[in-house]
C-alpha cells in the first residue's frame, strides 16, 4: 500500500459511536464561535452557508460553537440560542444544509457562567469571585439544580429541528469548566470540593439530556486536559473526569485545553508546534473506550494520520485549518497532503487573532473568502463594532435592562 493509500484509509474509516450513530470519517470541524447569528439568537443565511461549505468540504462532523442554553449567560451577542421564541425554521434550514453529503452537525451547548459577555449579562459562576481582573456572582442552590433541565430543553430543541447530535461544552473556562476548576468553584455543597463533587453537575446534565433525547442520539462533551492556569484544573483531575465520564452515556469526548479567563492562554495557543493533547489522549485511552477526539495544533495530514495511528485518538478536531481552507478534509481524505497556509502575526494584540479568524468565517459564509486579506487592526475594528451593534439588539430582544 502506498503512503497516500494508507492516509486515505485511516482518515476515511467510519466510526460507530456508542449510541449507534455513525460518523463517516475521522475529520471533525471543532466548535468555533462564528458570531454569525443575528444578534437575537437566530440563525442567518451566512451561518447556513458557512456550515454547508464545511459539509461540502468533506468533514464527518461539524460542531457549531457556543450555542447558548440560556440567553442570560452568552459568550457573545452573535451566539445562537436554543430557547423558546427562537426562529425554528431558520434552525431547521441550518441543520438540513449543514448535514448534506452525510455530515453530522451538532450544536455545542454553551453557558458562559462567570465569563458571560458583560454588556449583555450579569456573569454568574459556581461561586462569587472578586479578583483584580475578574468578578462574578455565585449561583444559588436553586440555580444549580435548574441546570440539567435547561440543558435538556436546549438539547430537545436541537433534536427536534434536525441537528444530528449535541456537544456539551465543559472546556475553556466557561460554566461547566468553572465547576471543574478549583479556581472558580469554592462551593461547600455537594458540587464543590473533590473532583468527583466538582464533576457532579456535569454528570447530572448528561443524565438529564440522555433521558430527554433517547438512547440513539449522540451526546458529546468537550473538556480541558488542563486549564493551563495556576490553581486551575490539573491533568490528574482531568484524568479523573475521564474516569467519571466513562460511566456515563457520553458518545464522544473531545480533549482540549486553555481558558478565556483574562490573561490566560486560549485553546488555540498550545505550547508545542505539533498537535497539543496527544500525550493526554494516550493516558485517557487507558481509562476509557469511549471515542476520543483531540483538537488543537493540527496543521498537516501526516499529523492527523499519525495521531489516529497511535490508537489513542479516534477523531481529529480541526478549527483554524478549516477556516483557512474549508475544503481541507476533502484534500486529506483523498491523499492530497495540502498544508493550510497559517498566517503569522507579529505581536498580535489581545483578541486580535480570534477577531481575524472570526472575520474570515464571515467571509466564508458569504463566499467572499477568496480574496480575504485584512489587517489585524481592521479585523478587530469590524469584529468589535459588529458585536457592539448586536448588544443593543440582544438587550431589546431579551428585555435586558441596565
Ligand X SMILES: Cc1cc2nc3c(=O)[nH]c(=O)nc-3n(C[C@H](O)[C@H](O)[C@H](O)COP(=O)(O)O)c2cc1C
- 304 contacts ligand X (rule: CB under 6 A): no
- Residues 6 or more apart in contact with residue 263 via CB below 8 angstroms: 133
Q: Determine contact, residues 251/165, Cβ cutoff 8 Å.
A: yes
Q: Which of 166, 292, 321, 359 binds ligand X (CB under 6 A)?
A: 321
Stretch 222-241 residues interacting with ligand X (CB under 6 A): 222
Stretch 94-113 residues interacting with ligand X (CB under 6 A): 108
**CB 202 → ligand X: shortest distance, Å?**
15
In whole angstroms, give the CA distance from residue 16 to residue 28: 14
C-alpha cell at 123: 456573569
**CB 308 → ligand X: shortest distance, Å?**
15
Task: Find how far residue 135's CA is from the centre of its chain.
Answer: 24
Whole-number Cα distances in Å, 41 to 70, 75, 84, 324, 372: 10, 12, 11, 26, 27
Place of cell 453530522: 104
Residue closer to ligand X, measured from CB, 210 or 320: 320
**CB 283 → ligand X: shortest distance, Å?**
19
**CB 80 → ligand X: shortest distance, Å?**
11
Binding pattern to ligand X, positions 348-367, x when CB under 6 A?
------x--xx---------
Task: Report the residue closest to ligand X, judged by CB.
Answer: 65
**Beta strand pairing status for 22-23 and 15-16?**
antiparallel
Q: Which of 32, 82, 175, 241 binds ligand X (CB under 6 A)?
A: 32
- 268 contacts ligand X (rule: CB under 6 A): yes
- 65 contacts ligand X (rule: CB under 6 A): yes
Residue (of 245, 310, 214, 291) closest to 23 by Cα position: 291
Residue closer to ligand X, measured from CB, 28 or 129: 28
C-alpha cell at 229: 492556569
- 31 contacts ligand X (rule: CB under 6 A): yes
Q: Which of 228, 256, 259, 325 binds ligand X (CB under 6 A)?
A: 256
In the 8-state DSSP scheme, what is residue 348?
Answer: P
C-alpha cell at 22: 455513525
Q: Which of 66, 70, 314, 387 binds ligand X (CB under 6 A)?
A: 66
Element (H or E) spanning 184, and its range? none
* Cα dihedral across residues 265, 108, 78, 122: positive or negative: negative
**CB 328 → ligand X: shortest distance, Å?**
11
Residues that bind ligand X (CB under 6 A): 30-33, 65-66, 108, 169, 171-172, 222, 256, 267-268, 295-298, 318-321, 354, 357-358
Amino acid at each position: 500500500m502506498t503512503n497516500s493509500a494508507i492516509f486515505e484509509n485511516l482518515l476515511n474509516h467510519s466510526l460507530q459511536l456508542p449510541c449507534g450513530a455513525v460518523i463517516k470519517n475521522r475529520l471533525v470541524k471543532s466548535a468555533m464561535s462564528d458570531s454569525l447569528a443575528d444578534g437575537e439568537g437566530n440563525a442567518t443565511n451566512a451561518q447556513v452557508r458557512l456550515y454547508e461549505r464545511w459539509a461540502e468540504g468533506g468533514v464527518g462532523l461539524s460542531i457549531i460553537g457556543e450555542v447558548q442554553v440560556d440567553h442570560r449567560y452568552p459568550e457573545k451577542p452573535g451566539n445562537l440560542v436554543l430557547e423558546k421564541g427562537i426562529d425554528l425554521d431558520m434552525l431547521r434550514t441550518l441543520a438540513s444544509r449543514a448535514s448534506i453529503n452525510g455530515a453530522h452537525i451538532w450544536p455545542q451547548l454553551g453557558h458562559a457562567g462567570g465569563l458571560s459577555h458583560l454588556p449583555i449579562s450579569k456573569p454568574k459562576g459556581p461561586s462569587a469571585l472578586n479578583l483584580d481582573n475578574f468578578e462574578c456572582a455565585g449561583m444559588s442552590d436553586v440555580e444549580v439544580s435548574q441546570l440539567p433541565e435547561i440543558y435538556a430543553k436546549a438539547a430537545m430543541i436541537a433534536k427536534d429541528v434536525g441537528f444530528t447530535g449535541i456537544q456539551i461544552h465543559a472546556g475553556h473556562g466557561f460554566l461547566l469548566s468553572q465547576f471543574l476548576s478549583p479556581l472558580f468553584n469554592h462551593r461547600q455543597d455537594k458540587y464543590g470540593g473533590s473532583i468527583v463533587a466538582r464533576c457532579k453537575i456535569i454528570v447530572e446534565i448528561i443524565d438529564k439530556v440522555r433521558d430527554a433525547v433517547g438512547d440513539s442520539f449522540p451526546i458529546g462533551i468537550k473538556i480541558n486536559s488542563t486549564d493551563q492556569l495556576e490553581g486551575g484544573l490539573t491533568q490528574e483531575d482531568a484524568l479523573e473526569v475521564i474516569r467519571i465520564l466513562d460511566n456515563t452515556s457520553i458518545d464522544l469526548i473531545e480533549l482540549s485545553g486553555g481558558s478565556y479567563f483574562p490573561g490566560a492562554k486560549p485553546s488555540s495557543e498550545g505550547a508545542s508546534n505539533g498537535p497539543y493533547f496527544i500525550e493526554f489522549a494516550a493516558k485517557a485511552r487507558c481509562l476509557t473506550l469511549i471515542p476520543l477526539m483531540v483538537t488543537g495544533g493540527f496543521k498537516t495530514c501526516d499529523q492527523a494520520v499519525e495521531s489516529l495511528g497511535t490508537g489513542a485518538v479516534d477523531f481529529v478536531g480541526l478549527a483554524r485549518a478549516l477556516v483557512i481552507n474549508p475544503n481541507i478534509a476533502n484534500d486529506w481524505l483523498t491523499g492530497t497532503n495540502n498544508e493550510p497556509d497559517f498566517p503569522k502575526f507579529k505581536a498580535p494584540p489581545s483578541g486580535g487573532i480570534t477577531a481575524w479568524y472570526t472575520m474570515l468565517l464571515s467571509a466564508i459564509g458569504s463566499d467572499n473568502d477568496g480574496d480575504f486579506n485584512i489587517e489585524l487592526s481592521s479585523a478587530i475594528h469590524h469584529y468589535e463594532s459588529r458585536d457592539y451593534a448586536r448588544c443593543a439588539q440582544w438587550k431589546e430582544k431579551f428585555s435586558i435592562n441596565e
